[in-house]
């Protein structure tokens, strides 16, 4: 009832929480400031997360909000179906199938569409050399302009070269975004039409 209209929401889940929601079990929400090890395990180690989560549920000293998992799942799916403004990121799938080792560089955030999954780290106001922000450097090829898929090859090569040059050419809002983008040089080319 109190949602902000026209705001996109990114929700991160894992297999453990999904199973609990499907069964209709309760989901207990904790502040990441009170359970930092649980927060870290959520991204880096799913087995450890499940163990710590259950221990945290037993610890009566921790502040919490408990919601019915079935109700939460229905709320997420209804909101997604009616507004298309909720984007789900399954952190265990991103970690298991991504390009980075979750024990070394866990993926803790992404853009809403989860097109890019790159490591990030907190920024420092005191030291602008600290932190890492991932940016989307994306393009698309209009499939409707080609009769055969192989005809796209030179245009895909051109898009790769253009995106690669944009990484060096563009201005960045903060040093952490520039450093991450130039070091990792992650690009994406999709298909439209």
- What confidence score (pLDDT) does residue 53 get? 97
Q: What residues are annotated to the active site?
A: 111, 113, 115
Mean pLDDT value of segment 7-22: 90
Q: Rounded to an integer, what distance in angstroms lies between the CA atom of residue 178 and that of residue 175?
A: 5
- What confidence score (pLDDT) does residue 87 get? 87
Task: Encode pLDDT of 45-77 as tens digits.
Answer: 999 999 999 999 999 999 999 999 999 999 999
Q: What share of the chain is helix, strand, coil (3-state, %, to 5)?
A: 45, 15, 40
Mean pLDDT value of segment 89-110: 86
- What confidence score (pLDDT) does residue 17 get? 95
Residues 95/107, Cβ–Cβ less than 8 Å: yes
91-116: burial string, b at 16+ Cβ within 10 Å, e else? bbebbeebeeebeebbbbbbeeebeb
* Reported confidence tier of residue 1, pLDDT bands at 50, 70, 90: low
Looking at the whole model, is its pTM more than 0.85? no
pLDDT at 127 over 80: yes
pLDDT at 2 over 70: no
- What confidence score (pLDDT) does residue 57 get? 96
Q: Which residue has the tokens 């991932």?
A: 134
What's the Cα-to-Cα distance from 125 to each of 45, 48, 176, 179, 183, rounded to whole Å?
A: 30, 32, 11, 16, 21
- What confidence score (pLDDT) does residue 22 get? 94
Residues 28/56, Cβ–Cβ less than 8 Å: yes
pLDDT at 93 over 80: yes
Mean pLDDT value of segment 1-28: 86
Residues 15/46, Cβ–Cβ less than 8 Å: yes
Mean pLDDT value of segment 155-160: 96
Task: Encode pLDDT of 129-155 as tens digits.
Answer: 788 888 888 899 999 999 999 999 999
Can you read off the two tokens belonging to residue 42?
């959520």
């Amino acid at each position: 009832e109190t949602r902000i209209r026209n705001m996109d929401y990114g929700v991160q889940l894992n297999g453990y929480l999904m199973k609990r929601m499907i069964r209709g079990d309760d989901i207990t929400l904790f502040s990441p400031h009170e359970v930092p090890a649980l927060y870290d395990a959520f991204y880096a180690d799913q087995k450890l997360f499940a163990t710590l989560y259950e221990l945290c549920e037993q610890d009566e000293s921790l502040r919490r909000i408990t919601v019915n998992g079935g109700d939460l799942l229905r709320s997420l799916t209804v909101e997604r179906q009616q507004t298309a403004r909720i984007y789900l990121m399954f952190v265990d799938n991103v970690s298991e199938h991504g390009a980075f080792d979750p024990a070394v560089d866990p993926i803790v955030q992404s853009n809403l569409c989860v097109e890019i999954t790159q490591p990030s780290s907190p920024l420092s106001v005191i030291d602008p050399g600290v932190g890492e922000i991932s940016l989307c450097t994306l393009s698309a090829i209009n499939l409707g302009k080609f009769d055969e898929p192989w005809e796209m090859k030179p245009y895909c090569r051109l898009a790769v070269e253009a995106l690669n040059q944009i990484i060096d050419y563009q201005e960045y809002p903060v040093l952490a975004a520039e450093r991450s983008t130039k070091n990792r040089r992650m690009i994406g080319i999709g298909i439209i039409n």
